[in-house]
A and B are shown apart, each in its own frame.
Chain A
């Protein structure tokens, strides 16, 4: 599992995730996700186009991250999920706490809304 963080502007990070977000995959990136994406309190758009599988530990990472950002007055949005991953996001109704978009520009618009 890979994680890349790059700034879009002064207040928003782009985070690209690649691989299987199952237990072993999340173990590899969770600390870096928390330290590099959540701890600084910047807004974030998370690119899921490289995620081939999303299991409960991945959902848990997103929920915990969204809640931490909310406490800091910030937020994140997800975008680019494949059909399979989108189906998991729909099942857990994650859009009730994290905005989910098809594209990066839509995700950015949701963050600014």
Chain B
């Protein structure tokens, strides 16, 4: 029986009374109070959590600052932050910095409120304000460590870029802070055939990442029963049979899978619930969508998946990517979509930059400061 449990039918005995009194004697009310923190979400030490107090904390590049930030765009003494645990908002004051302090994308003047969840950008550094109980901080740090491990594991499974031969590859994989369920890869099937794929599991977090790793391992090891890996339809059908959502915690995924034959220059491909990949010619005059209309993987058992093929001219690129590449909230707080993103594919190459870096830089310029909302996964395959 517990305090306030007046409806309990358990009889009160001498023993339970002793236990209750003993519990009351050791009971201490919670004295936790919320504290202000800022967390580095982009910059020199991602994940670092800095506590704010009544006394202002000075941020800058100079050695005399409380938090020294190694960033050439940050002034010697850039800004000051403080926060009282009894108040929800912290405050921030710009110290006449050269390049400015920006809260949620707006340059501030003097002292302003710094609300929980708000983003502060100075130079190339972005911080998020958190107002948490110490127990919440411990939990967040534990979760952050788990996510970091999962992030490293997914990255370790990605193939190395191919820099020579008839097929070249480069890619960019930037998991979001929550870690999404993207995975991709490629490999030679035979001397003359090459397969590439990308999957995007619904949801975020370690669960989605684990699921994407399971799918990726099946594809890497070619471990689908009775499946010809040269046939995209068969591969998607077998994945659908193996990964039904009711057997995998309600998770489904979208997928794109393609097989290129070096002798015939034919690319056979199929997609399931995934936006198109795009084939861009060497002159960058057009971006041809490569998509077949099929339901996502895991939604319904026993489905067939249609495939298609296209001839690939020398010097063409194929861009395969997840929706996190284009579903971004812009600095003007509008929603970007695939149609907004597509012109980037035919934009001129940038000397000294890989295609995936060029496109990431362009997206990052459009998106709100800080990490992207979803995983950024982009694979570029060049067919010489």
Binding site for B on A (CB under 8 A): 23, 52-53, 55-57, 59-60, 63-64, 67, 84, 87, 90-94, 96-97
Contact assessment for A53 and B335 in the assembled complex, using a CB-CB cutoff below 8 Å = yes
Assess the A92–B203 pair: CB atoms within 8 A: no
A28: shortest Cβ distance to chain B, in Å?
15
Q: Answer whether A97 and B299 are a contact pair too, CB < 8 Å, given A52-B335, A55-B327, A63-B245.
A: yes
Q: Flag if A59 contacts B296 (CB, 8 Å).
A: yes
Q: Is B295 interfacial (CB-CB < 8 Å)?
A: yes
A57 touches B203 (CB 8 A): yes
Chain B residues with CB below 8 A from A92, complex form: 254, 273, 295-296
* Number of interface residues, chain B, beta carbon within 8 A: 25
A residues near B300, Cβ cutoff 8 Å: 67, 96-97
Q: Which residues of B lie under 8 Å from residue A97 when comparing CB positions?
A: 295, 299-300
Interchain nearest-CB distance for A99 vs B (Å): 14
CA distance A6 to B273 in the complex (A): 31
Kindly identify, within residues 279 to 305 of chain B, every residue whose CB is under 8 Å from any CB belonging to chain A: 293-296, 299-300, 303
With known contacts A53-B335, A56-B200, A63-B299, A91–B274 Cβ distance under 8 A: yes
Whether B335 contacts A93 by the Cβ 8 Å rule is no
Pair A63/B252 contact, Cβ less than 8 Å: yes
Residue of A nearest to B204 (CB): A23
User: What residue in chain A is nearest B254 (Cβ atoms)?
Assistant: A92
Instruction: Label chain B's interface by main secondary structure.
Output: loop
Residue B250 is within 8 A (CB to CB) of chain A in the complex = yes
Q: Does B337 contact A (CB under 8 A)?
A: yes
Contact B202 A57 (CB under 8 A): yes
Contacts of A91 in B (CB 8 A): 254, 273-275
A residues in contact with B335, CB < 8 Å: 52-53, 84
A57 and B299 alpha carbons, distance in the complex (Å):
13
User: Are A93 and B337 in touch, CB under 8 angstroms?
Assistant: no
Shortest distance between the CB of A23 and any CB in chain B (Å): 6
- With a cutoff of 8 Å between Cβ atoms, the chain A residues found around residue B273 in the complex are 59, 91-93
Q: For residues 307 through 321 of chain B, which have their beta carbon under 8 Å from a beta carbon of chain A?
A: none
Please, how many angstroms separate the alpha-carbon atoms of A90 and B289 in the complex? 14
Q: Which of A87, A93, A96 has the most CB of B within 10 A?
A: A93
Assess whether A64 is in contact with B254, with CB atoms less than 8 Å apart. Answer: no
B295 touches A84 (CB 8 A): no
A93 contact set on B, CB distance < 8 A: 273, 293-296
CB distance from A107 to the nearest CB of B (A): 20
Residue with the greatest number of chain B CB neighbours at <10 A, chosen from A53, A57, A92: A92
Is the CB–CB distance between B337 and A87 below 8 Å? Answer: yes
Q: Which residues of B contact A64 (CB under 8 A)?
A: 245, 250
**Looking at B246, B299, B327, which has the most chain A CB atoms within 10 Å of its CB?**
B299
Bound form: Cα–Cα A52–B327 in Å: 13
Taking the closest CB of chain B, its distance from the CB of A6, in whole angstroms, is 27
B294 in contact with A60 (CB, 8 Å): no
Q: Closest chain A residue to B300 by CB distance?
A: A97
Residue of A nearest to B374 (CB): A55
Closest 8 CB pairs of A and B: A56-B202, A92-B273, A96-B295, A93-B295, A60-B202, A63-B299, A91-B275, A93-B293
Report yes or no: B293 in contact with A59, Cβ–Cβ below 8 A.
no
Nearest CB on B from A90, distance (A): 8
Chain B residues within 8 Å of A60, by CB: 202-203, 245, 250-252
Q: Which residues of A contact B246 (CB under 8 A)?
A: 67
Interchain residue pairs with CB less than 8 A apart (25):
A23-B203, A52-B335, A55-B327, A56-B200, A56-B202, A56-B252, A59-B273, A59-B296, A60-B202, A60-B203, A60-B245, A60-B250, A63-B299, A64-B245, A67-B246, A84-B335, A84-B337, A87-B337, A91-B275, A92-B254, A92-B295, A92-B296, A93-B293, A93-B296, A96-B294
Residues of A within 8 Å of B245, CB to CB, are 60, 63-64
Name 18 extra pairs, CB < 8 A, besides A23-B204, A63-B296: A56-B203, A56-B252, A56-B254, A59-B296, A60-B245, A60-B251, A63-B299, A64-B250, A67-B299, A67-B300, A84-B335, A87-B337, A87-B338, A91-B275, A93-B295, A96-B303, A97-B295, A97-B299
Q: What's the Cα separation between A93 and B271 when bound, in Å? A: 11
